[in-house]
Chain A
């Protein structure tokens, strides 16, 4: 892909820019559809209809209308807020969410940057989001914002440990940190996917990763940072208009990012489940996005099924349940590989 662009344009800076912007072509329409889908799914789960009017068929253009409304809103900065940090926080959060896409392989022909430390890089840049959340929560100068930010930071930092350990189990089998390499190792039929390897340890690692990822993107049942019944909206309480939209957008971008990473590590990424059936780079994009969207749908399903955890239960799950099981997985996989 990069080579092709270079052949056509013969200008490094232009090629880099195009390569960097390509994931946006997917995530912008994805976010619009996903927000609409979430509203429809929640509505049907609660025996309602959800948005039905805008655009005709089942209110499909509701999110677009919301987007236009948010664009026209006044840009409000609270008088007591710290103006510089308040304005900077949404950008930092979006950068952290988008930076992960640099190392996610969308197809065998396209990856933003095929770096050797891919998955390690993704784990590192997602930690930037915590800084953005703390910045926004503190700069809003609002009790709810600060509480939400503190909870979010504590939660993300705690759940990083089981998620990294679960990823480590896969990296141990693959012997590489590059996501494109990990995908290449899973080529063939679906029983080559890592989720079915070293059964059941990698499967358990996937469950651990998925639960920890839910916590890292602040989704229910781990949504106490923005628990609306007690904290109004957590760290986004004071944000309105496009800045609020940036937070919302970053949340959905993150949802797809963790799903994409799970799909790449455990479900073969862009590989077709049936050997060479519908293989190749173009169909690879289709398989990759489908796997990601299935996992996003599971996140939505869980959101409207499960109640919220308390803070102490949240820490209990991370430190006393997920972390020991993740360690057990890593050790078991290591022993299995030595046999």
Chain B
């Protein structure tokens, strides 16, 4: 087992264990914070796959953005500390059916894929330039659509958050 293998198993264990805590923890704040380790573990696996830009973007967007939003949301929730998350068994038949379909599909893809094993990992080349070029040429339309969606979300957030001047006068 060489260094890359050891690192892969470390990242995989970190990802899986922390994801398990997220799902099974009864304390909602532990679930939120253990996502930090899940995101970092996934970023580590991206690095091992030579996707440096995506790994960093993963940390920037998921840890810096989404996790922050989640933690804020959890903290602003009423009664964070002593809330017991109720777990009960509901909708057994549709639930198990959906699980079986999703799990079966994933296993099927996993088994049927011809996994490519590269001996001797090549040194990491810069992917940033290629990603930028692709965005501006081949994938220009999806890129622009994503920008417009984000802009709409931004304007929507500003509209919801802005001070309502009419209701202030009536009070």
Contacts and interface: CB of A to CB of B under 8 A. Distances in A.
Q: Main secondary structure on chain A at its contact with chain B?
A: helix
A131 B3 contact: no
B72 A131 contact: no
Interface string A116-150: 11001101110110110011001001000010001
Contact of B72 (A125, A153, A178): A153
B3 A13 contact: yes
A158 B83 CA distance: 31
B60 A134 contact: no
Contact of A120 (B53, B67, B81, B124): B53
Given A135-B33, A153-B72, 8 more contacts: A82-B29, A84-B30, A124-B60, A125-B59, A127-B68, A128-B63, A131-B33, A134-B68
Contacts of A178: 126
B128 interface: yes
A127 B59 contact: yes
A121 B33 CA distance: 21
B29 A127 contact: no
B122 to A, nearest CB: 14
A121 B47 CA distance: 12
Interface residues of A, number: 30
A115 B52 contact: yes
Nearest to A138: B75
B64 interface: yes
Contacts of B75: 134, 138, 146, 150
Nearest to B59: A124
A333 interface: no
B44 to A, nearest CB: 12
B6 to A, nearest CB: 9
A146 B125 CA distance: 43
Interface string B127-144: 110000000000000000
A124 B64 contact: yes
Contacts of A13: 3
A120 B64 contact: no
A117 B56 contact: yes
B36 A131 contact: yes
Interface of A: 12-13, 82, 84-85, 92, 115-117, 120-121, 123-125, 127-128, 130-131, 134-135, 138, 141, 146, 150, 153, 157, 160, 176-178
Interface of B: 3, 29-30, 33, 36, 52-53, 56-57, 59-60, 63-64, 67-68, 71-72, 75, 81, 124-128
A117 B131 CA distance: 12
Contact of A124 (B56, B71, B124): B56
Contacts of A127: 59-60, 63-64, 68
A13 B30 CA distance: 33
Contacts of B68: 127, 130-131, 134, 153, 157
26 contacts: A85-B29, A85-B30, A85-B33, A116-B125, A116-B128, A120-B53, A120-B60, A120-B128, A124-B56, A124-B63, A124-B64, A125-B59, A128-B36, A128-B59, A128-B63, A130-B64, A130-B68, A131-B36, A131-B63, A134-B68, A134-B75, A135-B33, A138-B29, A153-B72, A160-B64, A178-B126
A115 B75 CA distance: 36
A134 B35 CA distance: 14
A131 B67 contact: yes
Looking at A82, A130, A131, the one whose CB has the most chain B CB atoms below 10 A away is: A131
**What 8 A-B pairs have minimum CB-CB distances, sorted nearest first?**
A127-B64, A116-B126, A124-B60, A124-B59, A124-B56, A121-B56, A120-B56, A117-B52
A314 to B, nearest CB: 17
B19 to A, nearest CB: 17
A82 B33 CA distance: 13
Nearest to A146: B75
B1 to A, nearest CB: 12
Contacts of A157: 64, 68
A5 B135 CA distance: 40
A157 B57 CA distance: 16
A124 B67 CA distance: 13
A84 B29 CA distance: 11
Nearest to A177: B128
A116 B131 CA distance: 13
Nearest to B3: A12
